[in-house]
Amino acid sequence: MTRPDPDAVPTILTVTANPSLDRTLELPAPLHRGGVQRATAVRAEPGGKGVNVARVVTEAGLHARALLPARTGDPLLTALDAVALPYVALSTNSDVRSNITVVDPDGTTTKLNVPGVPFDADGARRFLELIVAGAAGTRWVALCGSLPPGLPDTWYRTVIDELAGQGCRVAVDTSGAPLSATMNGHADLLKPNEEELAEATGLDPAPLVAATARGDHAPVAAAARTLAERTGATVLVTLGAAGAMLITEAGAWFATPPPIVPRSTVGAGDAALAGYLIAESRGDTEPERLRTAVAYGSAATALAGTQPPTPEHLDRRGVHVVDLTPDGPRSRATPPTNPITPPPIHRR
């Protein structure tokens, strides 16, 4: 694969305010609390949701650049250099955090995340300036992950407001109060999972999760439509092994994944977001964007650690897409298409 010029304006800019060096331990038996267990494999990879998205996009041959805070010489930046991912780092005085993921043989993951490097007011201002400058000429800016200490819950909303009028589209993948704060911020794409969708719409997540588990996707569809109507954004809901749902002004679609052997769910949602952005940037139709998102999320689940899936890992034909628009569900399990000419960018 020929990689784009790292100095060129990226198609997709990702923002990771709380990056990490991800360490993954694979166990030969289920995690036993209080016991002593030996890992069969250990991986250390550059991480953070926006970093994961940028790596997947780059592997697909599109130009991505990651923005993140890290000191010069930090092991995370060394790891990014090793995988040739273009990035711009806001200089800090502390090491980037290390997160630990423990993976059982059936793919069940247990994550241990630490808070991250704190921001002060000056650091927050400089990082915002870096984002606004980096967004010039890009198609998408993806705001991804949790916020570190020192950044208020409204920080993503502030970034969205600063990007208004830049000509780029904004995707948001976060949870809790930072997600709720973006509700009136004119984001173009929101990517919650079931629990995050429930949080954003004021619902109890347990019924949504239970409904999905028994194959009833109407509650999730109703909640996603509510979120889309409140925000004016496209909503991509990732549903784990059940697949994903896409709600837009034009309609609603649900997609089930191809059969896989799960190894790690870490980064699967990030890969799904990357898949959507890749397909949208290439001008695919909305059902095909969902198909690609699910194909990427599934491929990531079949890989160890937070390895970015490549196009060679995808089974797009194994993804079944169903139209859920009000005029009646229609199967869209047709061969995938890939138009070349992208649609014009919406100017806010």
Q: Any bridge partners for residue 99, and if so which?
A: 22
Measured CA to CA, the distance from residue 73 to residue 45 in angstroms comes to 16
The question of whether 270 is a catalytic residue gets the answer: yes
First to last CA, the chain: 34
- 283 is written with which tokens? 């001008």
Closest CA to 174 of 199, 154, 144: 144
Q: Would you say 21 and 75 are in contact if contact means Cβ atoms under 8 Å apart?
A: yes
> Which residue stretches of the chain are H helix?
49-59, 75-82, 121-135, 155-163, 176-180, 194-201, 205-213, 218-231, 268-281, 286-301
Residue recorded with tokens 């997600």: 179
263-294 burial string, b = 16+ CB within 10 Å, else e?
bbbbbbbbbbbbbbbbbbbbebbbbbbbbbbb
**Cβ neighbour number for residue 325 with a 10 Å cutoff:** 13
CA 68 to chain centre: 15
Q: What is the DSSP string of 244-272?
A: EEEE-SS-EEEEEPPP---S--TTHHHHH
Measured CA to CA, the distance from residue 345 to residue 348 in angstroms comes to 9
Q: Would you say 188 and 234 are in contact if contact means Cβ atoms under 8 Å apart?
A: yes
Annotated active-site residue in 5, 270, 284, 315: 270
- 218 is written with which tokens? 């109407």
Positions annotated as catalytic residues are 270
